[in-house]
Amino acid sequence: MSDAAFWQKLVEWRRDFHRHPEFGFEEHRTARLVAERLRGFGLDVTEGVGGTGVVGTLRRGNGARSLALRADMDALRITEQGTPEWRSTAPGMMHGCGHDGHVTMLLGAAERLATEGGFSGTLHFLFQPAEEWGRGAQAMLDAGLLDRFPFDEIYGLHNAPGLAVGKFGTRAGPIMAAEDIFDIRLTGKGGHASQPQAGREVMLAACALVVELQAIVSRRLPPSAAAVVSVTELTTDGARNVLPGQARLQGDARSFLPIISATIEKEMRRIAEGVAIAHGCTAELDYTREFIPTLNHPGATAAALAAARATLGATNAEEMAEPITASEDFARFLALRPGCFAFLGNGVESAPLHNPRYDFADDAIPHGVGFFTAIARQRLAPDAEPLA
């Protein structure tokens, strides 16, 4: 197959995945196609790993080391508003985060490496379900991933709107944030809007609490600590002429260190209780940790940058100055094995991730395939040193 035909095939695959998005743990069609194609390349394939996860294994030479490369498969419950010919055919569902592109790039790398080789050892291609709600990586681990498909290092990519196609960025240490979810319930005594003195309505307390929670970052954390506290929903049981007796505040907090996460929770409990008491109400807080911080291994990061520079060009792969406050469950793998998560440009004019007009840039596919191929060959070269 000519290069042109190979790349056109991958574009067609990507657009087909885009037409048929599937939510987390429901990626049955996607997983079936991934498994069929991996088998067609000659890989050993295991399906149903952590629900709908697929693992393809490729061995070459006599090298003892093993490497994992990962792509996520799930889509979002968003109604697509863009108008490409390959727009979603699933009502209320779309690939609004580019996982259709991620799957395609890893499939392309699997085919190239199966056809051309160039490494000595074992490669595991991980096609993960349910990244969007932070359950897929852990599901694969709970299904015995590390025992069944052992690997020494792991690498993953995510497309980046705002970064030019052909550009690559990553950094050692924290690169993406933890995400904690909070749910605060205020309870008082509602009543008629004309007689606020007769009850203990919660609307004023809820509004005060939204404002006071902002003091956690500005006044309770060190200025050097990167953190965000966002209230994203406020609902009550009131009506136009009814003062509410119950209110619910929901949102999330982002941070990069466990001690910062713990401080946010502690201060949120103190503030919620204090505001409730001041307004004659009670407060209950549920605080859960959904995503842990994504922490890149220094040696793996250096290897990833070297592979990207060799593939994309020396000036097109840079070390990022700052982490970003979005979250990624690839962190679950990095907590157990050294590796690196990186960003690949999706275009300066690209719509943001999770936007109804977002679309993955097909021009980025060769760059992702090139990176995955290069890092596999580099880290499974006969003379490659294990990460320190």
Phi-psi region of 115 (alpha: psi -120 to 50; beta: other; left: phi over 0): alpha
CATH topology of domain 181-291: Alpha-Beta Plaits (3.30.70)
Q: What are phi and psi of 40, to 5 degrees?
A: -65, -30
Domain ranges of the chain: 3-176+293-379, 181-291
Handedness of CA 137, 35, 59, 366 (dihedral sign): negative
* CB 34 within 8 Å of CB 125: no
SS3 14: helix
CA distance 53 to 72: 9
Give the residue carrying structure tokens 């006044």: 219
Is the sign of the CA dihedral 233, 235, 240, 245 positive or negative? negative
pTM of the predicted structure, to 2 decimals:
0.93
Q: Is the dihedral of CA 266, 269, 272, 275 positive or negative?
A: negative
3-176+293-379: CATH architecture: 3-Layer(aba) Sandwich (3.40)
| Tokens matching residue 14 | 């990507």
Calculate the alpha carbon distances from 300 to 60, 143, 168 in Å.
Answer: 22, 25, 15
| Distance from C-alpha of 137 to C-alpha of 131, rounded to nearest angstrom | 7
Angle, alpha carbons 275-280-283 (nearest 5°):
55
* pLDDT tens track, the chain, 388 positions: 689 999 999 999 999 999 999 999 999 999 999 999 999 999 999 999 999 999 999 999 999 999 999 999 999 999 999 999 999 999 999 999 999 999 999 999 999 999 999 999 999 999 999 999 999 999 999 999 999 999 999 999 999 999 999 999 999 999 999 999 999 999 999 999 999 998 899 999 999 999 999 999 999 999 989 999 999 999 999 999 999 999 999 999 999 999 999 999 999 999 999 999 999 999 999 999 999 999 999 999 999 999 999 999 999 999 999 999 999 999 999 999 999 999 999 999 999 999 999 999 999 999 999 999 999 999 999 999 999 8
